[in-house]
Structure 1
């Protein structure tokens, strides 16, 4: 991003910030879906945009603006996940899915949503922002390296919320093929997030 444009953005220029939202909103949705699921990703990203707008003046420009935004969105998703876990602990109702087998087939609902987003996030560390930034970079690299058909269906389904019928019509693929490609893409994302949580590496 050009220096003068960045300076305008940091000064709180609403038009430039709106442009930022248009350019990166879908990417942030895709980054947060593996953590909170498609049903909560939109709310999480909206909250992340609010925090980004409030903090844009402190953006030092040491990393790409997309990476900085990704770290905010991921940390917001992790906070949302932790809050949901806390609510479940104090809920009187048990989770009917807790006794299901831990397999890839059980990671998604029949409608294609995440069944159990990655858990055990650690948000109390002062390095949480850096951790979110590193994970964002890992996810971006994975999405870039992903086969075009998988990435395209993942973005259409999880970032744009299109139905399988709409996806099939747009890409001229069968529903079964679309589901297989989506499953493969989500599995890669899930494994990366799981691996990062355990090792701190991509």
Structure 2
């Protein structure tokens, strides 16, 4: 059993026991990303915040029912996705995540682990000036993420940011692993292009 599995089991035990510090840790780790994820489905940050709040209530009230068939994060996002989709359907909207067609040669930009072969120029060197620009860069990245199509944003957040296992992401979004990788690559290329554009303007 790896350290991460032990850590998650310890976190789960503490959550079941009602440990407030454990919940606050989990909340800080996932809440902002959950809101961005839900916003891509319900198309309103205000509504997304309500969906996320409702999700946390469900997580806390059902934590003792978590069976460990997926990671804890995967379970939380499954609850979130179901709630967001139910609300979107009620409002007459349906969001499909499986919109990839082919790789478009994007795989060449990444190594076998899905990491960029060449980092965007903006990330190559961290100087004092870069620290000053850091907040602007972060805001630029957040804006670029918000502009991604729903499928790309979902995969980027679940796989790239929340580091869910590929199989979990595919099961959650009901897509093949090949499509998931293409969507992740496309999202990363879009973010990279946004950063390159920012770099040219600085």
Q: TM-score, normalised by structure 2?
A: 0.45
Q: TM-score, normalised by structure 1?
A: 0.45
